[in-house]
Amino acid sequence: MIRWFQTHEIRKVRELEGLWDFAPVQNKEGNPTQYNYKLHVPGCWEMHPELGTYRGQGVYRTFWNQEKQTHIRLEFKGISHTANIYVDGKQVASHYNAYTAFDVVLPDVKPGEHELVVRVDNGFGEHSALHIPNDYYTYGGIIRPVILEEISDIYIERVWFTPYWEKESWQARWKAFIRQAVPSSEPLSRSELRIQLGGVEVNLQGGTRQGDVWIMEGEGCYPQAESWSLTNPRLYTFKAELLVDGKVCDDWFDRVGFRRVAVNREGLLLNGEKLQLKGVNRHEDHPEFGAALPPGLMAKDLELIRDLGCNTVRTSHYPNDERFLDLCDEFGLAVWEENHARGLEIEHMRNPNFAWQSEQVTREMVEQHYNHPSILIWAILNECASHKEEGREHYRRQLQIIRDLDNSRPLSFATHHRADDICLDLADIVSFNLYPGWYTDEQPAELAKLARLWADEKGGRDKPLIISEFGADGYYGFRSHNREKGSEERQADILAENLKAYLAMESVTGMFIWQFCDCRVTEATGWLMSRGQTKNSKGIVDGYRRPKLAYDTVRHYFKESL
């Protein structure tokens, strides 16, 4: 399934879902001649009984049949974590990072059968600055859908919608990115984009060239539009049609919502109303599917999160599958989306690949998820070196990259450096990961007050405060009257203490429990990666989504405060 709605009517689109040939090749050069496995795409190879702990390189292969000669666009929604793409034996693309999409356009593909080979690498090493052994699992494989499209000479790459409120009415800015199957410097001034939304038609004409992209911009007034909010998540589907010399040659549909987000010291305002965020951190992980969650499971996660009384979710620690974001749009669940990073120390950030890899995933996240009304906050670099001058330069640059692309949403990052953090002035929201009751003996209310002080002293005085992580391990099925650490009882107690404190505090704009579901972690040495059962067990449901005792506790506090 590509999305929860149709994205094209004119453009011919199909998903290359199914069983692909597969061969683990470790470090062997060249692509294999023999494939001994058949794996489901999208999926993780760890789900095959013989490949449960395989790490390294693997090659996938499939074939497609082409009826007529045309340009083909292949889109890979997510390959974990390094991909090299070959069509009919020739390399046509490569990409780093599991959690953002990339594409390749093949001009004038001849009729007949074509071979598509994808070489995937989930190995660790200097070539990979962001996927490192960590407190979650970096699976291997084609974890998100692969799409094959037939495109015309000129096609729509994407259309951005930015709503704003002016003169007591909704307005929107449109920005379209148009490309040619065979790039040329010729101006695309004969093209026109017709955008229909809620009975209003906007026509974009003319444009400017930026490299290989033709940019068209315009504005529309939507006086009849209803706002998108968490209680009434009203979505509008827009249709964009590309015309050349008056003839439609391509189309693009997306769903958007009219809403505005603002922050001040008092908090976060959605459509002018103050909102307290009550949510969970969520990893895309499941024992049966790895990081390739089927859409039905995404829908189940969403329903569980809503049933808990949450109004928000944090996509810790990477951009999520857009089909989960579609669900958040549809059901009115606010999203904190962040780029890919967890716990990178300054030594990791000195990896020569860190800057470009981290900046690329940041850019791709914003470009690809720009239209989702549910995303209220963009964030970067969870628990990285925001206490060092050298780290600060990366924080500054990455936040600037986002601002240059999108200045309609507030920015944040989750830190554990407390009063030592030197980047709090750079973001719009100050967010701390704190674990009172689990890693420390502090009292949640006292600690949240201190957090406000750190923010005030370190450049965050006019910014709202979020407790971006708190939680405790609870091993599913470990019940104990002694309420020891690790028991479901103790986990519920710790969460209750935290929630009671934060929900009562005006100064806490949001709180995200660590975490929604248990997740697999990398097996290695050191305390972090020798976790019991090779899992991070702070989920309030286990990996199979079975509720622990804490589930009802969270539900009680979140629902009571509705």
| Closest separation in Å from C-beta 314 to ligand ADA | 10
CB of 205 to ligand ADA, least distance (A): 48
Rounded to the nearest whole angstrom, what is the least distance from the CB of residue 276 to ligand ADA in the complex?
21
Find the radius of gyration of the CA atoms of the chain.
24
Do 118 and 112 form a contact (C-beta atoms < 8 A)?
no
488-503 vs 549-560: helix axis angle to the nearest 10?
Answer: 10
Cα pseudo-dihedral 203, 254, 94, 42, rounded to 10: -160
Q: Count the site residues for ligand ADA by CB under 6 A.
A: 10
Closest CB 185 distance from ligand ADA, rounded Å: 46
CB of residue 318 to ligand ADA, shortest distance in Å: 11
**Closer to ligand ADA by Cβ: residue 292 or 384:** 384
Binding mask 393-422 for ligand ADA (x = CB under 6 A): -----------------------x------
Q: Which residues are CB-neighbours of 467 under 8 A, at least 6 positions away?
A: 431, 432, 433, 434, 448, 451, 498, 502, 508, 510, 511, 512
Q: Which is nearer to ligand ADA, 156 or 341 (CB)?
A: 341
For residue 536, state whether it binds ligand ADA (rule: CB under 6 A): yes
Say if residues 88 and 66 touch (Cβ distance below 8 Å). Answer: no
CB closest to ligand ADA, residue no: 135
Site string for ligand ADA, 313-342 (x = CB under 6 A): -----------------------------x
Regarding 382 and contact with ligand ADA (CB under 6 A), the answer is yes
Do strands 90-96 and 154-166 pair parallel, antiparallel, or not at all (unpaired)? unpaired
Judged by CB under 6 A, the chain residues 427 through 446 that form the site for ligand ADA are 433
Which of residues 46 and 135 has its CB atom nearest to ligand ADA in the complex?
135
Stretch (H or E) spanning 525: none
**Is the preceding peptide bond at 81 cis, omega within 30 degrees of 0?**
yes
Return the bridge partners of 269, or none.
262, 274
Indicate the residue among 149 and 493 with the shorter CB distance to ligand ADA: 493
- How many C-beta neighbours within 10 Å does residue 69 have? 10
CA–CA separation, 207 and 178 (whole Å): 10
456-475 footprint of ligand ADA as x/- string (CB under 6 A): -------------x------
Kindly state the smallest distance separating residue 122's Cβ from ligand ADA, in Å: 19
Closest approach, Cβ 514 to ligand ADA, in A, equals 5
Minimum gap (Å) between residue 317 Cβ and ligand ADA: 6
Choose which of 20, 222, 476, 514 interacts with ligand ADA (CB under 6 A).
514
Count Cβ atoms below 10 Å from residue 157 Cβ, excluding itself: 16
Q: For residues 31 and 493, give the distance between their C-alpha atoms in angstroms, rounded to a whole number.
A: 54
Nearer CB in complex with ligand ADA: 508/519: 519
Omega cis (within 30) before 317: yes
Q: Which is nearer to ligand ADA, 165 or 478 (CB)?
A: 478
Annotate each residue in 187-216 with x if it binds ligand ADA (CB under 6 A) or - if it does not, as one string: ------------------------------
Question: Residue 383, interface with ligand ADA (CB under 6 A)?
Answer: yes
Note if the bond before 133 is cis, omega within 30 degrees: no
List the one residue from 417, 520, 538, 548 that touches ligand ADA (CB under 6 A). 538
Backbone angles phi, psi at 509, to 5 degrees: -75, -25
Contact status, residue 228 vs residue 234, Cβ threshold 8 Å? yes
* Number of other residues whose CB lies within 10 A of the CB of residue 533: 12
Q: Based on CB atoms, which residue is closest to ligand ADA, 433 or 509? A: 433
Q: Is 284 in the site for ligand ADA (CB under 6 A)?
A: no
- Does 135 sit near ligand ADA (CB under 6 A)? yes
State which residue, 134 or 371, has the beta carbon closest to ligand ADA. 134
Least Å from the CB of residue 176 to ligand ADA? 37
Three-state SS string over 263-319 comes to EECCEEEECCEEECEEEEECCCCECCCECCCCHHHHHHHHHHHHHCCCCEEECCCCC
Q: Which is closer to ligand ADA, CB of 364 or CB of 383? A: 383
Which residues are at the interface with ligand ADA (CB under 6 A)?
135, 342, 382-383, 416, 433, 469, 514, 536, 538
